[in-house]
Structure 1
Amino acid sequence: MSDLLPRTAFGQALPSPKASDACIRRLALRRSAPAQDLAPPGPSAEQLEAILTLGARTPDHGKLFPWRLVVLSPERKADLVQKLEPLAADQADPTRALAVLAKFRNPPCTVLVISSPTPGHKVPVWEQQLSAGAVCMNLLHAADAFGFSANWITDWYAYDPRTTRLFGVREGEQVAGFIHVGTAANPSLERPRPAVADLASEAS
């Protein structure tokens, strides 16, 4: 485990949660940065290890770990972009499909989260897929905690069977998201947020 994180052991009693102004502020102001605008520096090897460790500390019914994490280096991404560019021509909007590859190419660090559920288990596949989504959200929070900007996106190359094979996605698996991490040149602007009163209600 990274020296940047507290060390814990199986069965160890963990401290009770305490109010944290820094954590509340982080959650209240969390905002994805445009992936195409993310630039170096990205996390160091030790920081990335810590971010992955925090990302994996997510709700997981049945302790199945129904997801995989694949770190894509800039060199590997450049190679993948070369293979993705010709396939953009087959998309519904080829011009846009080609343009959005900048979101994949530019960030200095990308983590591919792959949902890999176990069918037939007592834990429903849907719950296992939700766990993969929780990993994506944890990775965003972890990157933010280390002072980086991040974005969780998919786009067309997460769903085309020809492209998912390029990423090593196996049969029965799905791309849960690409988590792009780096440094944003400009602060992110606030976006519209839902009114909680419109979404939450008391059970009748």
Structure 2
Amino acid sequence: MAGGAKARRLPRAVREGQMLDAAVRCFARHGYQTASMDEIAELAGVSKPLVYLYLGSKEELFTACIRREAGALLGAVAAGVGGSEVPPDERLWAGLLAFFTYAAEHPDSWVVLSRQARTHGEPFAGEAARMRDEIVGFVAGLIGEAAGEAGGGITPRDVDALAQALVGSAESLADWADETPGVTAREAAATLMNFAWAGLGNLMKSERWSPR
């Protein structure tokens, strides 16, 4: 009885965090359509009416999960990159490593963001798109900084296209690493960095490949 009373006195923010943790796990395992509010409540150790009271409908709960996990991923990447005094290639490496590390250490979160959020229409796809736009903008900034320092002939359109390509590759590689036993975050980040930066290095020197 005392334990139950103590549990009921948990701050609302803590209780909501427990519910969101349970929801992310459930959505990752079963998908949005199949996941049940009953199971989410059971995993969180609360009643189903309390889930509705705190976080609203299933749609609102899923949206809250996407926003929280997207914020956590973006925060991890930003924290890993460091300040502007670090060279752009090292900042990009640090960002990629932080990205793949987060995806590896939070597989349920990554499944919700990379698969579930994008396949069930609005408003979920829009939330995932906003997260992706922030990452693309960040990567574009790093590529633009590197191009400025090198003095190469990379246009703003080139920068945007390269950022889109790099982020798309990172997302696909994170999915592959999540499903492939033994692949570490560092290995995935190094693979993409070697693939991308070698080509970027040539572009910085205005050395472009073209079809014969």
Query: Does the alignment reach a TM-score above 0.5?
Result: no
Normalization by structure 2: what TM-score? 0.26
Identify the structure with bigger relative contact order (alpha carbons < 8 Å, sequence gap 6+): 1
Which structure: greater helix fraction?
2
Which structure: greater strand fraction?
1
